[in-house]
Structure 1
């Protein structure tokens, strides 16, 4: 989908922590991006289907559906690997 300006770029922020969503929303909107939010992995998957964002910023550890499972479901929904998904975490050890 071609973009004519930053105002056309829609970013989905998926995080169960309200303060993290607030901080990301403030920074991204200040830069002119459209921001859509979801508070868990399943809500993020639903938002990808309904909103068709251009980029997803997603927490790894969340209730309902973790970031890894949500990422896999988002890939199935889009049918390809073209949607950029950036995984975020505050965890010290990823495994």
Structure 2
């Protein structure tokens, strides 16, 4: 996937700072939403993909205001994927087993 990267400083297991470059989490989330809708995807993986996407959407909304899922971002995605991501913004992630 041709997504822009995000640079951050993370803390390693020894407590030292380490630079990290990763794909923009909004694009990663869009990819996971796309995977969750594919007919050829294993059902277990589809559920996991959707749960991961919803969890990252929640993190983006609550903890990463510098990376908004707004009209400007959605315009960078294919229309069908932008619509899917826009409708997923309001969903709440599952935070445990549904017993």
Instruction: Using structure 1 for the length normalisation, give the TM-score.
Output: 0.29
Instruction: Using structure 2 for the length normalisation, give the TM-score.
Output: 0.28
Which structure carries more helix by proportion? 2
